[in-house]
Amino acid sequence: MKQMIAFCGLDCEQCDAYIATKESDEVLRAAVAKKWSELNGVEITPDMIYCDGCRMDGRKTPYCESLCPIKKCAMQNSYATCADCPELRTCKDLSMIIGNNEKARRNLIGE
């Protein structure tokens, strides 16, 4: 599995936070902060929108750094991604991602 696939199966290279970081795009960073603030009902500022990839060393958004239950679980169990987990198909946290994102599901399950 390519390194830029997150624990949950999302492709970090397609994430606007990752793109804004790699391209040093301040306009995109501000737009992502505004959109994510509205979607999540919390204040997210542009200075929070830095990410070098979920499974990579470096910067992460605050959620991905320390709040994501999927990342926490995978790291506690030493899984490269959730594809290594025997509960992959029944995990409630993961189902919120792979139940709504076909690409993420295929990245983990391959079907």
DSSP 8-state code for residue 68: -
pLDDT tens-digit profile of 2-50?
A: 789 999 999 999 999 999 999 999 999 999 999 999 999 999 999 999 9
What is d(CA 7, CA 83) in angstroms, rounded to the nearest whole number?
A: 8
CB 5 within 8 A of CB 79: no
54 pLDDT band, cuts 50/70/90, is very high
Q: What is the pLDDT of residue 99?
A: 92
Q: What is the pLDDT of residue 27?
A: 98
Q: What is the pLDDT of residue 2?
A: 77
Residues linked to residue 5 through DSSP beta bridges, in sequence order: 11
pLDDT higher than threshold 70 for residue 1: no
Q: What is the pLDDT of residue 61?
A: 95
pLDDT tens-digit profile of 57-81?
A: 999 999 999 999 999 999 999 999 9
The H-or-E segment that residue 74 falls in is: helix 69-76
Domain edges within the chain:
12-109
